[in-house]
Structure 1
Amino acid sequence: MQRYKNLSGESGVVAYEIGDRAITIRFSGGDRYLYTDQSAGADNIAEMQRLATLGSGLSTFISQVVKERYARKLD
């Protein structure tokens, strides 16, 4: 997984992995979630991938837009 840049210093996201039409997010508590085109929508996945690469705004986007539309929680 890539370390999330966290430019604001306040994000709950610590790492991410971009996949084909998917993104895996690791949050500060250690939980990892897989989001896919099917679970969150293609436009939202594209935006999450963009924000992850940018290093800013990902946690806010998830909490305000995507919410709990993950495909599954990972071990």
Structure 2
Amino acid sequence: MKRYRNLSGHSGVTAYQCGDGFIRVRFVNGDTYEYTDQVPGPEHVRNLCFCAEAGEGLATYISRFVRDAYARKLD
């Protein structure tokens, strides 16, 4: 996983991994969630990867648009 740049300095995200049709996001509490083209859908996965690569807005996007719509919890 790549370290999340956290440009705002206040994110609840520490790391992420973008792949073909998925993104995995690790939060400060250690939980890791996978979001896929199936759940919550390809548009959200693209937007989540965009935020992750930009280093800002990832946790906000998750809380506003996908909330508990994740494919699975890892770990």
TM-score, length of structure 2 as denominator length: 0.98
Q: Give matches, 1:12-51, under 5 Å.
A: 12-51=12-51
Match of 2:65 in 1: 65
Q: TM-score, normalised by structure 1?
A: 0.98
CA distance in 2, matches of 1:44, 1:18: 12
**3-state SS of paired residue (1:34):** strand
Report whether the alignment pairs 1:74 with 2:74.
Answer: yes
Gaps of 5+ in 1: none
SS at match of 2:39: helix
How far 1:41 sits from its partner (Å)? 1.1
CA distance in 1, matches of 2:56, 2:33: 18
CA RMSD of aligned residues (A): 0.4
Distance 1:71 1:62 in 2: 13
Q: Any idea what the Cα deviations from partners look like across 1:7-49, whole Å, max 9, x if unmatched?
A: 0000000000011110000000000001001011111100000
